[in-house]
Structure 1
Amino acid sequence: MIRILLCSLALIFCSLNAHADAAVGVVIGDPTGLSGRVGLDGQHSLEGALAFSTGRYTGLHLHGTYLWDRARSWATSEGPLDLYYGLGVRVISINKGDYDGDVAIGPRAPLGLIFNLHNPNIEIFGELSLALDIAPRTDVDLDAGVGVRIRF
């Protein structure tokens, strides 16, 4: 399982280097860890995280999400504030409780705000994500986090 997670992380970072509209940074909350985003065009992007989850399942957290960017935008003096939503998958290796050693997997649906600053070239984001774990048992979870990423 760890090999799959590490290979997925390598693919995320390789794809980040292959695109001009990419950002890497951190997310704090549940989960807490590394975060990355790759712009596909002006309206869509791929987002992922390799983090540690402290919610219902404690363990290594990996997610990948297809985002619809700029669902709604508000102009500010510092830059745009954009609403986004998406659909993806979340995988958590469980390290405690009745399911210790198992893997929780299922779809996730985030809703968030992203604030793009242009000098310095960073983005600040906040996100709520509803997740439906299919295995090891069916369960609904809510992830929440805030973070910052450097665009390059």
Structure 2
Amino acid sequence: MFFCHSETKAQANPDSENNFGLGLILGEPTGLSIKSWNGDQSAFSIGAAWSLSEDEALHLHADFQLHSWFENIERGRLAFYYGIGGRVIFTDDAKIGVRVPLGLNYIFDTLPFDLFVEATPILDFTPNLELAGNGGVGIRYYFN
């Protein structure tokens, strides 16, 4: 098994007071990213962004994420994460759907930052039942 809990303590540490991050996500959608750790394995992630697809509209999403940490990372911490959440795109025909985020999250050893890459399948319920997807890369700063 290549996932394991790591005892490495990072600046943006899920187990410390530095568990709230604010940053940017670039992709679809593009905007603000917030992450709040609930412990070493779980977190809430929120996005307030602009959908650059044909909708060109405000996109809000919120996810609950679970993390599996890779072992034998020489510097920092690296996790695969997966979760469940929801999204709303505010257009004339608002889209409401369920998200399943999948990604990698790297936390630096000595800096209060993390980097992430994410791909997210989506099932929209309104205005029509349809499959969609989001994806992006991002960076967040963690506050004391």
- Aligned partner of 1:30 in structure 2 is 28
Q: CA deviation at 1:72?
A: 4.2
Residues 74, 82 of structure 1: 8 Å contact kept: no
Q: CA deviation at 1:43?
A: 1.0
Output the CA distance in 2 between the equivalents of 1:75 and 1:134: 42
TM-score (norm 2): 0.83
Which letter does structure 1 place at the counterpart of 2:83? Answer: G
Question: What is the root-mean-square deviation of aligned Cα atoms in Å?
Answer: 1.4
Which letter does structure 2 place at the counterpart of 1:90? Answer: R
Provide Cα deviations, 1:74-126, integer angstroms capped at 9, x if missing partner: 433321111000000010012xxxxxx12100100010000000322100000
- Aligned partner of 1:78 in structure 2 is 75
Output the CA distance in 1 between the equivalents of 2:26 and 2:108: 19
2:128 is aligned with 1:130: no
Provide Cα deviations, 1:9-29, integer angstroms capped at 9, x if missing partner: xxxxxxxxxx75111100000
Residues 75, 81 of structure 1: 8 Å contact kept: no
Output the CA distance in 2 between the equivalents of 1:57 and 1:74: 41
Which letter does structure 1 place at the counterpart of 2:100? Answer: A
Provide Cα deviations, 1:19-51, integer angstroms capped at 9, x if missing partner: 751111000000100000001122111001000
Which letter does structure 2 place at the counterpart of 1:32? Answer: T
- Aligned partner of 1:45 in structure 2 is 43
Output the CA distance in 2 between the equivalents of 1:55 and 1:74: 37
Post-superposition, which runs of at least 4 consecutive aligned residues in structure 1 deviate over 3 A?
Answer: none
Q: Secondary structure at the match of 2:23?
A: strand
TM-score (norm 1): 0.79
Judging by fraction of residues, say which structure has more helix: 1
Residues 27, 146 of structure 1: 8 Å contact kept: yes
Which letter does structure 2 place at the counterpart of 1:79? Answer: G
Where does structure 1 lack aligned partners over 5 or more consecutive residues?
Answer: 1-18, 95-100
Map 1:1-152 → 2, pairs under 5 A? 20-69=18-67, 71-94=68-91, 101-152=92-143
